[in-house]
A and B are shown apart, each in its own frame.
Chain A
Amino acid sequence: NAGVTQTPKFQVLKTGQSMTLQCAQDMNHEYMSWYRQDPGMGLRLIHYSVGAGITDQGEVPNGYNVSRSTTEDFPLRLLSAAPSQTSVYFCASSQGTSSYEQYFGPGTRLTVT
């Protein structure tokens, strides 16, 4: 199993551009989530999904959209990039609710200039 994969690994955007961060998992996990990691702030939840067709907002959802058309894929869309969205983004999946561990992808380092 590849686990959780993310593409791209690095990305530089100009302010106002849009892009999609890709995330896929091959463990048949129902639960998937997106986090951003900023120095001194730990990981903050952006959006999450409890199954195909079901998504919900996390702690910091503004400026991001998600959809979940299949169990495997959970893309994160930046609608109009801002410098404040410069961060490292992690996708994670889990086989169940809160007692289960999350499996993390390797991350995407995004810089917005």
Chain B
Amino acid sequence: AQSVTQLGSHVSVSEGALVLLRCNYSSSVPPYLFWYVQYPNQGLQLLLKYTTGATLVKGINGFEAEFKKSETSFHLTKPSAHMSDAAEYFCAVSPTGGFKTIFGAGTRLFVKA
């Protein structure tokens, strides 16, 4: 069975600092991988996804993530945090050829001025 682990339920960074949100997955075959962001009192929206091809994926708002098969990881990064990045971030995996998506527990990002 697939599973997703997000390390750290809360991450706090200073404005302008590097953002690193960690995601590891468990799957017998490489799945499709997603990062979603949820702003307060809103639904989730896609930041980026990896399906096939280049392992470094660029998303919206300056975020990117790298698929590392050997480490079963898909960590999300942004070189310089902005106050508007404060939100909850979810890593998710979907099996190839299937439909059910498994979400991680989420990481809430705080950005300090």
Point out residues on A near B: beta carbons under 8 Å: 4, 31, 33, 35, 40-45, 48, 50, 58-59, 90, 92, 97-99, 101-102, 104-107
Cα separation A40 to B95 with both chains bound (whole Å): 23
Cα separation A105 to B45 with both chains bound (whole Å): 10
Q: Using an 8 Å CB-CB cutoff, how does the interface string of B39-66 with A read, 1 for contact, 0 for none?
A: 0011111100101000000000000000
Question: SS class of chain B's interface: helix, strand, loop or mixed?
Answer: loop
Which of B31, B34, B101 has most A Cβ within 10 Å? Answer: B101
Q: A97-B98, A99-B94 are in contact. Are A40 and B43 (CB under 8 A)?
A: no
In angstroms, how far is the closest chain A Cβ from the Cβ of B56? 18
Residues of B within 8 A of A104 (CB): 36, 43-45
Which of A4, A45, A59 has most B Cβ within 10 Å? Answer: A45
Cα separation A23 to B100 with both chains bound (whole Å): 19
Considering the complex, give the chain A residue whose CB is closest to the CB of B91.
A42
A-B contacts, 24 listed (Cβ < 8 Å): A40-B105, A42-B90, A42-B104, A42-B105, A42-B106, A43-B44, A43-B90, A44-B103, A45-B100, A45-B101, A58-B100, A92-B43, A98-B97, A98-B98, A98-B100, A99-B96, A101-B34, A101-B46, A102-B44, A102-B46, A104-B43, A104-B45, A106-B42, A107-B43
